[in-house]
Chain A
């Protein structure tokens, strides 16, 4: 062989191979037997994209329905419009970011702090967006709110109690419409429905976004509302996906401050025992309740906090009606940390020389926890039954978050339900952060793929931001 030709041949082979990127067959996308042309999302704050205590621009842009719609677009999904909040502080403010806070003891530590900046505020926050939206998530909404005509009526904001919701006022097509009616007006081919969380948590999340209603929704009302929602949404032949309600113990708002979180030295325990003995003695001798005892004793190490007792058996002033927290009782994230650290809340007020129980509005006691668990179980049964009856995809968010308690790993990142560092929840301890929203969106996709024989690509969780560290 001629050397020259050999060299040319060599060069050609090199060029032919060296330039080539190995190709892997494409992911086989398919919509299965569902049609994503017109997708509408119904739900509460979780659906709206609420995070860090506010509905703000970037979190809304990456709400789980927005992420879903982005993935649906790969299998024939159409446009998905949200009622855009063009402000990073949010509609009404109160947004939290991770910063530094100095506590009553002068210790500065990493902590959620109020974000600086100006929210949209009133009246702009109530101005109608002026276009139909496909994300009909309304922060604060319970199941029955979604079928309630007038929930978007501005006049309803002024009644006592309010009969309208400012978030729906922004995008309601009329003063008399309902969230459901606005969804149906778009003739949806596919819907997602994640509602019910507020029906249970509304009264427990004092100080949260929900200030309407104080009790757990009755099952009659919930069943009627949920049934109406599913019947109506499927009436035009649309397919859809529904999700259930997570257990409160998997939400940082309820699992961050442990009821058994009082850590004492031997000396501190002795001091507290002495203080309580004095109070008991005072009640026995001065108030005149013979044999009175709190039945409280402190020991070195981990102790339960002292909490206000609403079933206290003796007619004493409120401040004296206390007991130790029981295992399984929950203390809310909003409990005043400075009072806990420096004023004796949860133990004994040195200043006032009397017991200082954690106030009831920061505690979910045994009975309340049980009420919530029962209600969640009942509502979840309704959701699952209706999903099965109507042949809808079903997302078991409760089980997902339950397994997240011990850690869920995606793409090398370990997620958990721990506040801040767990990586799923935002700084309000109730709503997901954007990365958490992607995890939820993928759970929705998994359920839809399974139910409808679809092959919708999952979202890249790592592409969505988690909590921003300073």
Chain B
């Protein structure tokens, strides 16, 4: 067992990013990931800080620490629409992680703190690829810090609220049509939001959950824009510039129901409403030479609804097995699909298990396999079109310590 896990770790290091559903990454708990990334109507302990602050109040133990991470090994293939030109990404492994701590203040009041990375993507296209004037490399990462309070209104009803403080950063490289010129943009920003949840034990066997995570606009200001350009162009364009841009982290409204089908079998059903419609235009504003550099880039995303299904089977005292699936319809617009975020209609299958060597310790393993379906997409303002297909393999590990 230990050796196998070690092998898995090696594999993670050897390989690469996930971009299902825009640039959202919903890998904030190993149990939930194993169950098709459901969690709104589950009582999962400390990781409820993300999935539903309402159910956090049902924390079984006095204190729980839960940490873990995933290795997103993602691959994207591209083929030009009118030629045999093909390209594939060489994405590094993207490592979203989570750390949660939660403790009981009173029998009914639980306080918790979570740090997690719900948005991000890292896409690296070949240096000479055909789409380099749209995007060469892009890295987005948002770190959320969420102090949370959860309160049990009754035996059946829990509510919770978290305040979110976010730090986000972005790195973007693209080519410019002057010899091998490149534009490099990097910046960071902080922003705030919130996470609200309700949890309701409808019957002994059925739980319901609703969770709302607010939209957060990441406003990059005073970002660094460096232009690696021929000297003759540097008289027109300053090589060191500042820029600002805004990227929305959309709101999520999640509805979940869990059903204890038998003593050993738990079903979890969920629908996520991801309000991607807010991502309309990506606007870059530059401090100098704005008249040449400023751009408004249409994205025209639409809201997406993601149905999810997960099951959990208690094989023994020490071992719990899980599986799940979901279908994530792309929020992107077919005519405004920029290869910076290759988000395709995605079918995903997950599984996982938890091994519980002692009463206080749990080791979780999860694995999600995403199949981005082949889609023909265009970014019409750039007259760039092709077929895209993606896949992502995401092994994850988690450790929970409680007392």
B-binding residues in A (CB < 8 A): 1, 3-4, 6-8, 10-11, 13-15, 17-27, 29, 74, 98, 100, 110, 409-413, 423, 457-460, 462-463, 466, 468-470
If A22-B76, A24-B86, A27-B83 touch, whether A3 touches B355 (CB-CB below 8 Å) is yes
Known: A24-B86, A411-B384, A462-B130. 15 other contacts (CB 8 A): A18-B73, A21-B391, A22-B77, A24-B374, A24-B387, A26-B79, A27-B83, A29-B84, A412-B132, A412-B134, A412-B383, A458-B83, A459-B83, A460-B85, A470-B230
Across the interface, A412 reaches (CB within 8 A) one of B85, B133, B178, B321, namely B133
Query: Smallest CB–CB gap between A444 and chain B, Å?
Result: 13
Residue contact B75 to A22, C-beta cutoff 8 Å: yes
> Which of the candidate stretches B2-10, B102-110, B260-268, B269-277 sits at the interface with the other chain?
B2-10
Complex: chain B residue closest to A465, CB-CB: B179
Inter-chain CA distance A21–B74, complex, in Å, is 9
A466/B393 in contact, CB under 8 A: no
Interface residues of B in 232-246 (CB under 8 A from A): 232-233, 235
CB of B353 closer than 8 Å to a CB of A: yes
The one of B178, B384, B388, B391 that contacts A17, using a Cβ cutoff of 8 Å = B391
A22 to B371, CA, bound (A): 9
Are the CB atoms of B79 and A7 closer together than 8 Å?
Answer: no
Known: A21-B75, A110-B232. A413 touches B177 (CB 8 A): yes
Q: Which chain B residues lie closer than 8 Å to A24 at the CB level?
A: 77-79, 86, 374, 387-389
> In the complex, which of the residues B5, B8, B84, B390 has the most CB atoms of chain A within 10 Å of its own CB atom?
B84
Question: Can you name the residue of chain B whose Cβ is closest to the Cβ of A110?
Answer: B232
Q: How far is the CB of B232 from chain A (nearest CB, A)?
A: 5
23 A-B residue pairings within 8 Å (CB atoms): A1-B315, A10-B395, A11-B7, A11-B8, A17-B391, A20-B75, A21-B77, A27-B80, A110-B232, A110-B235, A409-B382, A409-B383, A410-B383, A411-B133, A411-B134, A411-B384, A412-B383, A413-B133, A413-B177, A457-B82, A458-B83, A462-B128, A463-B128
Q: Are B393 and A412 in contact (CB under 8 A)?
A: no
Q: A470 touches which one: B232, B351, B381, B391 (CB < 8 A)?
A: B232
In the assembled complex, the Cα of A294 lies from the Cα of B364 at a distance in Å of 94
B231 CB–A CB distance under 8 Å: yes
- Specify which chain B residues have a CB less than 8 angstroms from the CB of A409 in the assembled complex: 381-383
Contact of B130 among A22, A23, A110, A460 (CB under 8 A): A460
Chain A residues with CB under 8 Å of B353's CB are 6
The answer to whether B389 and A23 touch across the interface, beta carbons within 8 angstroms, is yes
Task: Please count the residue pairs between chain A and chain B whose beta carbons lie under 8 angstroms apart in the complex.
Answer: 130
A82, B395: Cα distance in complex, Å: 55
Q: Which residue of chain B has the shortest Cβ distance to A27 in the bound complex?
A: B84
Chain B residues with CB below 8 A from A410, complex form: 383
> Is there contact, CB below 8 Å, between A22 and B4?
no
Query: Which residues does chain B contribute within 8 Å of A18, judged by CB atoms?
Result: 11, 15, 73, 393
| Contact of A7 (CB < 8 Å), options: B4, B73, B235 | B4
Q: Given the complex of chains A and B, what is the CA–CA distance between A20 and B75 in angstroms?
A: 8
For window 77-103 of B, CB contacts with A under 8 Å fall at: 77-80, 82-86, 88
Decide yes or no whether B365 CB sits under 8 A from chain A: yes
Least distance between B400 CB and chain A CB atoms (Å)? 18
Separation of A26 and B178 alpha carbons in the complex (Å): 32
Contact B1 A17 (CB under 8 A): no
How big is chain B's contact interface, by range?
35 or more
Smallest CB gap from A413: residue in B: B177
A458 to B77: give the CA distance in the assembly, Å: 19
- Going nearest first, the 5 A-B pairs with the smallest beta carbon separation are A412-B133, A457-B83, A412-B382, A7-B4, A18-B393
Contact residues in B for A21 (Cβ distance below 8 Å):
75, 77, 88, 391
Chain A residues near B7 (CB-CB < 8 A): 11
Cβ of B216 within 8 Å of any chain A Cβ, yes or no, is no
Measured CA separation A218–B165 after assembly (Å): 78
When C-beta atoms are compared, the residue in chain A nearest to B135 turns out to be A412
Is B4 a contact of A11 with CB atoms below 8 Å? yes
Q: B390 contacts A22, CB within 8 Å?
A: yes
Residues B5 and A7 in contact, CB atoms below 8 Å apart: yes
Give every chain A residue within 8 A of B319 (Cβ-Cβ): 1, 3
What residues of chain B lie closer than 8 Å to A466, measured between beta carbons? 177
With A411-B130, A412-B133, A469-B233: A10-B179 Cβ-Cβ less than 8 Å = no
- Nearest Cβ on chain A to B222's Cβ, whole angstroms: 26
B231 touches A15 (CB 8 A): no
Q: Which residues of B contact A470 (CB under 8 A)?
A: 230-232
User: B178–A469 contact, CB under 8 A?
Assistant: yes
Contact (Cβ within 8 A) A14 B367: yes
> Closest B-chain residue to A415, C-beta based?
B177
For B388, give the chain A residue with the smallest CB separation: A24
Task: Give the distance in Å from the alpha carbon of A235 to the alpha carbon of B367 in the complex.
Answer: 66
- The one of A11, A17, A26 that contacts B369, using a Cβ cutoff of 8 Å: A17
Q: B1–A7 contact, CB under 8 A?
A: yes
Contacts of B77 in A (CB 8 A): 21-24
The answer to whether A20 touches B382 (Cβ under 8 A) is: no
Central interface residue in A19, A410, A411, by most chain B CB within 10 Å: A411
Interface string of B49-89 (1 = CB under 8 A from A): 00000000000000000000000010111111011111010
Q: Does any Cβ of A come within 8 Å of B131's Cβ?
A: yes
**A22 near B1: Cβ-Cβ < 8 Å:** no
Contact A412 B73 (CB under 8 A): no
Pick the contact of A13: B75, B233, B369 (CB < 8 A): B369
What residues of B have a CB within 8 angstroms of the CB of A26 in the complex?
Answer: 79, 84
**Inter-subunit contact A74/B4 (CB<8 Å):** no
Interface: B372 (CB within 8 A): yes
Alpha-carbon separation in the docked complex, A100 to B372 (Å):
51
Which residues of chain B are near A17, meaning CB under 8 Å?
Answer: 369, 391, 393
Residues on A with beta carbons closer than 8 Å to the beta carbon of B178: 469
Bound state CA distance, A24 and B130, in angstroms?
17
How far, in whole Å, are A98 and B231 apart by their CA atoms in the complex? 12
List residues of chain B with CB within 8 A of the CB of A15.
Answer: 11
Tell me the minimal C-beta distance from A287 to chain B in angstroms.
Answer: 50
B365: chain A residues within 8 A (beta carbon): 10
Mark B328-347 against chain A: 1 for CB-CB distance below 8 A, else 0. 00000000000000000000
Given known A-B contacts A8-B4, A22-B390, A24-B387, A411 and B382 have beta carbons under 8 A apart: yes
Instruction: Determine if A14 and B395 form an interchain contact, defined as CB atoms under 8 angstroms apart.
Output: yes
